[in-house]
Structure 1
């Protein structure tokens, strides 16, 4: 009986890790949408909720960085900035995907808590 309960817990943890990793992967292409779904439709405090919050904070930071580069792209300098933003996006989302599949909540070193732990 105990093994069955442990198997259920392990299955639940694996499901959360896969869901969280899938949200990271989806955010590469769909940007903010998967993280919003994860934040608002997962159980507060769960592994998926924590990782979704990290993704959303990082996506908001990238969006804020994209605004000045859009203005600077008129001059021609902003194109390099867009390249840097996309490179950071792919690198950090990839690191977060691997960490979440391992069962870790990764705190991105560049992002800050805009969406804090009190978010519903």
Structure 2
């Protein structure tokens, strides 16, 4: 499968990539686990061709809670939604994100560092919390 970048649109073969990941992690063996979150485990996979990736595998019985308001980015890009984010709500969002990051970095059994934090990844419930 070594045809350049495994994950480029032109070369992507999801089934072959999944098979490579399963093989590289010996069927998601714990010896390849590099992190654990509330809803997932993260594994290090050395793919054919030398590419090293982190793979998130969701726990099979866990289901993400539906967040009615979508992402913080979508609220901020909508004039009416942004107007609802008064200073009190903005502080509450910041506190929530801070609490979540602190939990992931310090309180998880195996700390998990989130390296893709953006307003697209902050989900809000119906109370914008």
Settle same-fold status: TM greater than 0.5.
Answer: no
Which structure is higher in RCO with an 8 Å CA cutoff and minimum separation 6? 1
Normalized per residue, the structure richer in strand is 2
**TM-score for both structures, normalised by structure 1:** 0.31
**TM-score for both structures, normalised by structure 2:** 0.29
Normalized per residue, the structure richer in helix is 1
Specify the structure having the higher radius of gyration (Cα): 2
